[in-house]
Amino acid sequence: MTLASALLAPVLGAGLAIPIEWVIGLGLALFSVGILGVACRRNILIMLLSVEIMLNAANVVLVGFSRMHSEISGQVFVFFSMTVAAAEVAVGLAILIAVYRLRRSIDADDTTQLREIDYGPLPPIKLEGEPSHHAHDDHDDAAEPVGAAGGA
Amino acid sequence: MTTALFVIFGATALASALLAVTRKNPVASAMWLVMMFFGLAGGYVVLEAYFVAAVQVLVYAGAIMVLFLFVIMLLDLRSEHLMEEEAPRMPILGVAAAVLFLAVSGIALLNAVDDGMFPDAAARATLELDGSARAIGESLFGTWLLAFEVTSVLLLGAIFGAVILTKRRLT
C-alpha cells in the first residue's frame, strides 16, 4: 500500500464509488471548453492554452477508462500524452516567439503570411525570349501588325 | 463521499478552464489554467491514480506553466497593442462548434449508459487497480518499452525544432 492510499484510505473507503460516466462526462465538457478557446480566441497564446485543456480532457478520459477496465495501460498512456503535450508546447511557443519577432503581434489574424503575401505592386512577369510589353500590346490593339508578328 | 469529492474537483477544473479561455489578460488565463491542473490532479487522486496526479502537478502545473509564463514575460504583454484582441469574425460559429461537440458526445455517452456499457455500483465495488509508481513503471518499462523509447526521439525532435525556430534570425 502506497503512502498516498494509506493516508486517503479512511476518506476514500474501499473500491471505486465514482461512476465512470461522470469521469467521461468531465472529459467531454473540458474538451468542449478547449474547442471554445481555440475557435473563439485570436490570441495564439490562449489558443495554445486551450489545446492544453483538450489534451487534459483526453487524459481524464484515459484515467477513467483505466479504472473501468482495471488496466494500468490507460495511465501509462497519460504519460505519453503528457510528453506529447510538453513537446507541442515547446515547439508551439517557439513558433509564437518567431512570429512575434517577425510581426510584433501574437494575434492569429495578423499571421497570414502563408495565405496572402503582401509583395507590394507586382512586378511584370517576363517570360524568356519575349519582350515584356508584348502581351499588353496584344490585348490593347490586336489589329496592330507589329504585335501580331511578334506573337507568331 | 468519493463521488462528492470528485464532483467538487471536477467542477473546479471545469470552471477554471472556462475562466482560462475567457480572460482577456494572458497571465490571468495561465493562472486559471494552473487552477485547472490542480483540480484535475485532485480528481486523479480520488480516482486512485496517485502517480498520475503527482506527475500532473509536477509536469503540467510545474514545467509547462513555467514555460507559458516565461514566454508571456518575454513578450512584454503589458504593452497595449498585445492586450487588445480583435473580436473573432464569427464568434457564434466557435460557440456552435463547442456546443455541437458537447451535444453529440453527450448523447453518445447517455446512449452508452442506457446500453449498460458502464459498470454499476456493485460492479465498481469489485474493481481493483494499483495506481502506484511501481505498477505504472512495470507497465511502462515492460509492455510499453518501445513506445517509451520512441518518445525520447519525439522529445529530441521537439528540442531541435524549438532551438532552430528561436535561434535563427527570421527576416
- Domain CATH code at residue B37: 1.20.120.1200
Tens-place pLDDT, residues B101-142: 999 999 999 999 998 888 887 777 777 788 888 999 999 999
Residue A41 neighbours by CB distance under 10 Å: 24
Burial A118-147 (b: 16+ CB within 10 A, else e): eeeeeeeeeeeeeeeeeeebeeeeeeeeeb
Q: Judge whether B166 lies within some domain.
A: no
On the question of pLDDT at B59 being above 60, the answer is: yes
Place of cell 509536477: B58
A48 CB neighbours in chain B (<8 A) are 68
Model confidence at A43, pLDDT cuts 50, 70, 90, reads confident
For chain A, residues classed under CATH 1.10.287.3510 are: 18-110
On the question of pLDDT at A138 being above 50, the answer is: no
Q: Judge whether B146 lies within some domain.
A: no
A87 CB neighbours in chain B (<8 A) are 154-155, 157-158
Model confidence at A137, pLDDT cuts 50, 70, 90, reads very low
Q: Judge whether B144 lies within some domain.
A: no
Q: Do A52 and B72 touch (CB under 8 A)?
A: no
- Of A87, A93, A38, A102, nearest to B73 (Cα)? A93
Q: Judge whether B134 lies within some domain.
A: no
On the question of pLDDT at A136 being above 50, the answer is: no
pLDDT at B91: 78
Query: A84 is written with which cell numbers?
Result: 506529447
Tens-place pLDDT, residues A49-80: 999 999 999 999 999 999 888 889 999 999 99
- The CATH topology of domain A18-110 is Helix Hairpins (1.10.287)
Q: Judge whether B162 lies within some domain.
A: no
Q: Judge whether B159 lies within some domain.
A: no
| Residue pair A99/A114 in contact by the 8 Å Cβ criterion | no
B92 alpha carbon, distance to own chain's centre: 25
Model confidence at B167, pLDDT cuts 50, 70, 90, reads confident
- The number of folded domains in chain B is 1
pLDDT at A51: 95
CA distance B123 to B119: 5
On the question of pLDDT at A135 being above 50, the answer is: no
pLDDT at B93: 87
Which backbone phi and psi does A53 adopt, to 5 degrees? -60, -40
3 state SS for B83-126? HCCCCCCCHHHHHHHHHHHHHHHHHHHHHHHHCCCCCCHHHHHC
